[in-house]
Structure 1
Amino acid sequence: METFDLTRESDRLALVDRVFVYPEEPHQRRHGPAGYTDYESYRDWLRDEFLYRCTFSLLRETWPQTRFHIDHFVPQTERPDLVCDYDNLILLEGRLNLVKGRRRVPDPCKVALGRCLYVHMKGEKMGCIEARNEVGEKIIRVLRLDSDDATQVRRDWIQILRSVAQTDEPLFRKFIGYPKKLPDLKRAKVSSNCRLAGLKQSAKYLADLGTLPEWY
Structure 2
Amino acid sequence: MRRALLAITGLAAGTTALVVLKGAPDTMVAARDLPVDRPPVVPSGTGPTATPPVTPTPSRTRKSPNPSRTTAEDSADPRTTTRPPTTRAAPRTPDAPRTTSAAPKPTRRTVTGPVVENEYGNVQVRITLDGRRIVDATALELPRETAQSDRRSSEVDGRYSGTSGQVVQRQSAEVDTVSGATATSGSYRQSLQAALDRAR
Higher normalized strand content (fraction of residues)? 2
Structure with higher RCO (Cα < 8 A, 6+ apart): 1
**TM-score, normalization by structure 2:** 0.22
**TM-score, normalization by structure 1:** 0.21
Which one has the largest radius of gyration?
2
